[in-house]
Structure 1
Amino acid sequence: MTRVAIKHFIIFSLVVLFLLVEYGHFIQKESKQFKVRKKFIPDSNHSSIYIYRAYYDDRSVKGTIRIFLLSKCFVSSDSFVLRYSGKAFPLSIQPLEGSCPWSWAHCEWNAHQLQSPKINGVIPKKVSITLNDHRQIEVEVARRPRVKKDRLQVCVPPLYWYHDWTRMILFFELWKKHSPSFIIYANSYSRNVEKVLKYYEKKGVVQIVNWPILERSDDRADPNLSVYRLSHSLAHNDCVMRMESEYGTLLDIDEYVHIPDNTTLIEFAKSEFTIDRKVGSLLFWHSGLKIMDDSLDGISGAVLVNATGPGKTLFKPDNVMFLSTHWVLSHSRYGLKRKKIPREEALLLHNRVRFRGDQLKDAIEEELTDLDLVDIQRNSKATAREIFGKELPQHNKNVSLVMDKCDASWRSLGCKVPLLHCKKELEESDQWVFLPSSKDSHYTLM
């Protein structure tokens, strides 16, 4: 062997030795990092994946398993396989916002769905999911509930830093006409809001789904710094899967669908879906609801204002494949369509903070007909006294002002993360309750 050959051999041997040592350290570190997970072999360059929930869906799509998760964007070479009882099925990957990254907000972490082909035979209670033939995890499979006819459920996206107990009481009292139940996703709210929610929860009309932040894995970047509004898109679509009602809608705490006669929303929806079988969802026009002050005394003087904004949707959960904030992004069957409802027939009332008082001086105001505001104000005040007693707590205006100011700069940050971006300004402004993971609402790290 020549001197040059010996030199090359020595260099090659040292490089191999170095790589073996480094790989050994990597394996050691990864085994600690993922010690709660069995059957993990570190191979993929893809970052952590947070599995939220798996459902067997025999309503929107007949007999498939759908898995919701949070992750950075996948590449075309990434592949998932679902296994159970010796069977293996490829899983399709779909961003819940329609694209990854989402064009509206370029956040690093996005919501996705994995979907299996049709499952025949016995429905598995647990399945194994594998990424690129290396990462593997076992998850439980929930069943979608059976439909209860002539029922309406309202989904409320994740609440965070939520403090406005007066507006929350008004929300529930306005909706009494339509007799819905509510699925409310919540990360954090004030002690006063907690009392209001517990009151309606005891009445059997509210189901609270805890919506925690993502746990940070060792030696990884914090995903919570780049998830749009606690991944509200994942919450939207999970809520559809939890619905047991024939009809559903997705609204914020400051929104209400008004039918300007004695018709209930269930009756209205039943008529619309019966008249045209190709209608998959309804769209309602937006209108501002202006209330003169922050107390419950301003309700009786509320008026409509010509404040523009996007509308909201009502749907049959069975017709929904993917749901976005304002409309059904994708229906479950080919040929189903959205129908815009004329303003004279129904209206989305938006009681936004900036519509209050004299902040809309030049807006055109319109009387709100066919809605007994005096009675709603009376009932709201009676409910508040039942919850808090004779001495009602003061409304904390500062939180709304700080939140609006903090939220205004989110575009310069690239991703709307108010829970963390506004923490310094808000954490001492009220007494806050942060909801932890729960048995039916938690993430599993893959």
Structure 2
Amino acid sequence: ITPLKDKKTFIISPYFDDRESKVTRVIGIVHHEDVKQLYCWFCCEPHGKIYVSNAQIDVHSDRFGFPYGAADIVCLEPENCDPTHVSIHQSAHGNIDQLPKFEIKNRKVEPFSVDFTVCISTMFGNYNNVLQFIQSMEMYKILGAQKVVIYKNNCSQLMEKVLKFYIEEGTVEIIPWPINSHLRVSSKWHFSMDAKDIGYYGQITALNDCIYRNMQRSKFVVLNDADEIILPLKHPNWKTMMSSLQEKNPGTGIFLFENRIFPETVSTHMFNISAWNAVPGVNILQHIHREPDRKDVINPSKMIVDPQKVIQTSVHSVLRAYGNSVNVPMDVALIYHCREPLQRDLPRESLIRDTTLWRYNLSLVMSVNKVLSQTL
């Protein structure tokens, strides 16, 4: 996160985007009113000619009332030039040597290196839900994820050890996310709940960056939180599920899955594994009762997307895309979301017993034990 001199514009990363015309799309954060004019400065090799282009500043519509929001800073690239770097400046005049340069990613088209990448936006608040995190990671791998990208603000020391294990394993990529060094951040999603500069640690910006970062390298990108798992009900894994969904929905690039709350306050005595009791966090295998659907309440969704079809995303839906979005029926998959209850006063009898997760219990227990033995 690089602040510009105005301290109202923050650059995350530029990406080459030629899906419509040849542009550099810079993912950033801006003040929605105060940032009116920006320029892209391109350096064209081999003769080092400087080309300055007027930027279109597109603040994403989902700001949820906060003054700062995710923005695309979009510049047409000069003809007959494939710039490798760009600088962003408030003026069309100045000295390029004094401006920070950013590498333009996604310049080279490469074959996909993975099928599924999971994006976990903004780990913050001295995050220490270690057991549930490891269980989620191992479930993602069982279901077909080869990569998990985490935008990390901060976490506990034990969590650092676990992340180090996954980085060395090659599963996790950490994007440092020190957003609170630059802005007053809220851990709430709406300005009315907490009047700060930007909501939920800049989650929306992180999600957009994650989609572009993986556009050339991952066939699908899974957008969910670390306490959520998209569980297929008819298929053994994501690959077979997505093949089937794509076959049934040609031209669709965005698949929305419905959230179901499995309250961590209601547990079963099964899978009470003594070695796990010393590890901070929730044991998801013990939470197999879900809250019933409420007629008048919309369940938020999370997504699996074809990144090349996405232009801008929000948290629960895509704002701009090529192609259609489809709501995946509940009998095909649901989001297993183990957290504190939303319907607090429900008696246990009103909850629905759902042991889908247990299908994976053998491989899950084994792989979690393996990680714990190497990290604790």
Shorter-normalised TM range: 0.7 to 0.9
* Greater RCO (Cα-Cα under 8 Å, separation 6 or more): 1
TM-score by length of 1: 0.66
Q: Which moved more, 1:349-358 or 1:316-325?
A: 349-358
Distance 1:170 1:234 in 2: 26
Per the alignment, residue 201 of structure 2 pairs with 230
Q: Which residue of 1 aligns with 2:174?
A: 208
Tell me which residue corresponds to 1:350. Answer: 337
Confirm or deny: 8 A CA contact 1:300 1:373 kept in the other structure.
Answer: no
Instruction: Name which of 227, 231, 238 aligns with 1:258.
Output: 231
How many Å separate the matches in 1 of 2:32 and 2:372?
Answer: 49
Shift of the 150–215 alpha-carbon distance from structure 1 to 2, 3 Å rule, reads: closer
- Partner residue in 2 for 1:109: 68
Superposition TM-score, scaled by structure 2 size: 0.77
The aligned amino acid for 1:182 is: V
User: SS where residue 83 of structure 2 aligns?
Assistant: coil
The answer to whether 1:140 aligns with 2:102 is yes
Return the alpha-carbon distance in structure 2 between the equivalents of residues 301 and 53 of structure 1.
Answer: 39
| Map of 1:186 onto structure 2 | 152
| Inter-partner Cα distance in structure 1 for 2:361 and 2:315 | 31
Matched, 1:121 2:80: yes
Overall identity of the aligned pairs, in %: 19
Deviation of 1:311 after TM superposition, in Å, equals: 1.1
Alpha-carbon contact 1:108-1:227 (below 8 Å) kept: yes
User: Are 1:280 and 2:253 an aligned pair?
Assistant: yes
State the distance in 2 between where 1:387 and 1:186 align.
22
User: Matched residues in 2 for 1:351 and 1:179: separation?
Assistant: 20
Instruction: Please state which structure has a larger fraction of its residues in helix.
Output: 1
Shift of 1:289: 2.6
Matches within 5 A, 1:27-46: none
Matches within 5 A, 1:227-376: 227-243=198-214, 244-291=217-264, 292=266, 299-300=285-286, 302-306=288-292, 309-331=299-321, 333=322, 336-354=323-341, 361=348, 363-369=350-356, 371-372=358-359, 374-375=361-362
State the match for 2:29 in structure 1.
Answer: 70
Question: After alignment, is 312-321 or 64-73 more displaced?
Answer: 64-73
AA matched with 1:51: I
The structural deviation recorded for 1:81 is: 2.6
Matches within 5 A, 1:385-424: 385-389=372-376
Residues 110/52 of structure 1: CA separation in 2 closer, same or farther (3 Å cut): same
Match of 2:276 in 1: none
Judging by fraction of residues, say which structure has more strand: 2
Cα gap change, 1:50 to 1:360, in 2 (>3 Å): farther
2:52·2:92 contact (CA, 8 Å) conserved in 1?
A: no
Report if the CA contact (8 A) 1:56-1:141 is conserved.
no
> Corresponding residue for 2:120?
156
Q: Secondary structure at the match of 1:232?
A: helix
AA at the equivalent of 2:122 = P
Q: 1:142-189 CA deviation, whole Å, 9 max, x = no partner? A: 222734166100000110021110110111122232221100111100
2:30 touches 2:59 (CA, 8 Å); kept in 1? no
Q: CA deviation at 1:365?
A: 1.2
| Partners of 1:183 and 1:207 within 8 A in 2 | yes
Contact kept in structure 2, 1:280 and 1:315, CA below 8 Å: yes
Which runs of structure 2 are paired with 1:427-446 in the superposition (5 Å)? none
AA matched with 1:184:
I
Structure 1 distance, partners of 2:239, 2:114, is: 7
For 1:90, which of 37, 50, 54 is the aligned residue? 54
Do the aligned partners of 1:66 and 1:116 also contact (CA within 8 Å) in 2? yes
> Of the two, which has the highest radius of gyration?
1
Which secondary structure does the structure 2 equivalent of 1:74 belong to? coil
Q: Which amino acid aligns with 1:314?
A: I
Q: CA deviation at 1:373?
A: 5.0
Contact 2:291 2:343 in 1 (8 A): no
Query: 5+ unaligned residues in a row in structure 1: which ranges?
Result: 1-35, 41-45, 217-221, 390-446
Equivalent position to 1:167, from 115, 132, 135: 132
- Partner Cα separation in structure 1 for residue 363 and residue 220 of structure 2: 24
**Any conservation in 2 of the 1:287–1:304 contact (CA below 8 Å)?**
yes
The 1-side partners of 2:374 and 2:343 are apart by 24
The 2-side partners of 1:329 and 1:149 are apart by 27
- Deviation (angstroms), 1:223: 4.6
Give the counterpart letter for 2:144 in structure 1: S
TM-superposed deviation, 1:119? 4.9
SS of equivalent residue, structure 2 residue 356: coil
Cα deviation 1:36-55 (Å, max 9, x = unaligned): 98xx8xxxxx7632222222
Distance in 1 of aligned mates of 2:144 and 2:172: 12
The whole-number CA distance in structure 2 between the counterparts of 1:276 and 1:263 is 20
Out of 350-359 and 318-327, give the one that drifted further.
350-359
1:226 partner SS: coil
* 1:234–1:210 CA distance, 2 compared to 1 (3 A): same
Q: Partner letter of residue 354 of structure 1?
A: P
> How many Å separate the matches in 1 of 2:284 and 2:85?
52
Separation of aligned partners in 2, 1:115 and 1:347:
36
Q: Superposition RMSD on alpha carbons, in Å?
A: 3.1
Letter in 2 for 1:204: G
CA contact (8 A) 1:168 1:196 kept: no
Between stretches 270-279 and 235-244, larger displacement belongs to 270-279
| Residue in 2 that maps onto 1:383 | 370
